[in-house]
Amino acid sequence: MKKILSLLLAVAILLSGSIPAFADETKPPNLPAASESYIVIDAKTGQVLLEKNSHKKEYPASITKIMTTALGVQNGKPDDSITISKEVVSDIWRWGETTHLALEPGEVITLRDAFYGTMVESANDCANAIAQSVSGNLEDFTALMNQQVTALGLTNTHFTNAHGLYDKEHYTTAYDMAMITRWALSVDGFEEYFCAKSYTIPKTNKKKVERNIGTHHHMIVNSKYSYEYAIGGKLGWTSESRHTIVTWAKKGDLSLICVAMNCQNKWDKYTDTARLFDYCFDTYDMVSVTADDMASFDVPVGSLQNPSGMVHISASKDLDLLVEKGTPTESVAFIYDIPSRYRAGETIAPQVDVYSGGVLVASVPMDFTVETYRTETEMEKPEKEPGAFTAVLLAILKWMGIILAAIVVVLFGLRAYFMARRRKRRAARRKSASQGGNRPH
């Protein structure tokens, strides 16, 4: 899809009529961190605020369970019963001793129990139980996970299991994991499990005592590493992935997601996350741009040379974005990525690049409407009159056709005349010959 920035230079200045001088695009600052890769995004828009190696492939470990639980919440009901299969239990023992709830084949739990067991205790058998409940078996659920990855437009993630235990083909990135978490938070009901600090699994047909579980995420409970604004999250660890962490925090109007991956030390992941959150909360403010303040575009339908009509592309929702505190409104500008033409029924994805002080601070999709119409000229366009040369040519061809038809008629007439005369001569000769043959000798 071609851009028409060169044609329109579609620059719209927020609350200002002047065009700022654009500087070279720069990345957000990389803050010191022990984690090999990290990212902080705005949970509402997906705007990237901070990042380091955020597109580098890493092993996620148990933060995988965010995808698992979100799919479970989306496709099941909390009160649904699960009879634990042998596959659910035996699968996790391939990795040796791991975190689990000692579920047994034939044990009956609810899907709600599996959600809490997966997110709070990080129990691998509970993650497999969700997979069994949703898809019937582990393999089909893994396919569902990867289908969701594709639906989110993520290209650096591939899952081979529901729990995150090490597999060389099971990987993601800090960026992809942040976007998966953002999607998961949009699934109605997921937040309950993502933000849970403790849960009690009731007695079952196989376990005669309750099982009390509590989160291991120190930023959302009272601890040395608790963080005032953290409200939910998930941890992960294997010897291959090292420590991974996803945390959701809110302060005022700001809702942020932080992902840190491949951290050597158990506690550094918390200090990294707190430092990244502090920077973003101290640096950014939310600005809302109304749909009316955003530019709209008229784009031809079909080819540029021979359009069959026009469509009107305009913003349908207000745009919220984060800019540095104290940023003058006249230094905020948009550049729109709009297709140069439109084909009826096609899917388009207009983007808005947001510049603050000449620096690219966000590239976000634009919620838009497409209104199809024909121009007044097209609706009232008369039939095209032929040119002088064309008119003369048509007249000549017309008379040539008439003459040709006349010649054909004359030729057919002459042919009929001569054929008739020939028949008469033959008849006369036959008659003469007949009379001569009857004379006496």
pLDDT for res 389 = 61
Decide: helix, strand or coil at residue 109.
strand
Does the structure show a pLDDT above 90 at 395? no
> What's the Cα-to-Cα distance from 271 to each of 17, 83, 254, 275, rounded to whole Å?
44, 41, 20, 6
Element (H, E) at 436: helix 388-436
User: CA 117 to CA 126: how far, in whole Å?
Assistant: 6
Return d(Cα 143, Cα 151) in angstroms, integer.
12
Which are the contacts of 330, defined by CB distance < 8 A and separation ≥ 6?
13, 14, 15, 16, 18, 20
> What is the average per-residue pLDDT within 202-213?
96
- Predicted pLDDT at 433: 63
Known catalytic membership, residue 241: no
**Angstrom distance (rounded) from CA 19 to CA 13:** 7
- Dist CA 169 CA 158 (whole Å): 7
pLDDT in tens, 306-348: 666 777 878 888 888 888 888 776 777 888 877 777 776 667 7
Average pLDDT of the residues in 393-412? 71
Structure tokens at 288: 């809302």
Report the pLDDT averaged over residues 410-439.
66
Distances (CA, A) of 430 to 346, 409, 424: 83, 32, 10
Which segments within 81-171 are labelled E, that is strand?
Answer: 81-83, 108-110
Of the candidates 35, 62, 85, 331, the residue annotated as catalytic is: 62
Mean of the pLDDT values across residues 96-108?
Answer: 94
The mean pLDDT value for 283-299 works out to: 84
- Cα–Cα distance, 354 to 286 (Å, whole number): 13
> Does the pLDDT of residue 136 top 70, yes or no?
yes
Q: 218 CB contacts (<8 Å, ≥6 apart)?
A: 224, 225, 226, 270
Catalytic residue among 37, 54, 85, 122: 122
- What is the C-alpha separation between 62 and 243, in angstroms, rounded? 10
Average pLDDT over residues 265-290: 94
Q: Round the CA-based radius of gyration of the chain to a whole number and report it.
A: 38
Cβ proximity of 315 and 368 under 8 Å: yes
Give the pLDDT of residue 86: 95
Q: Of 37, 52, 65, 269, which residue is the catalytic one? A: 65
pLDDT value at residue 2: 32
pLDDT at 377 over 60: no
pLDDT at 122 over 70: yes
Rounded Cα–Cα distance for residues 41 and 394 (Å): 69
Q: What is the dihedral of CA 88, 91, 96, 98, to 10 degrees?
A: -40
Is residue 122 among the annotated active site residues? yes
State how far the Cα of 177 lies from the Cα of 164, in Å rounded to an integer.
Answer: 13
**pLDDT the model gives residue 224:** 97
How would residue 235 be classed by pLDDT, with cut points 50, 70 and 90? very high
Q: Is the pLDDT of residue 213 over 70?
A: yes
Average pLDDT, the chain: 83
Q: Is 65 a catalytic residue?
A: yes
Q: Residues 187, 74: contact at Cβ < 8 Å?
A: yes
Q: How far apart are CA 25 and CA 20, in angstroms?
A: 14
Please choose, from the candidates 230, 219, 285, 261, the residue with its C-alpha nearest in 3D space to the C-alpha of residue 39: 261
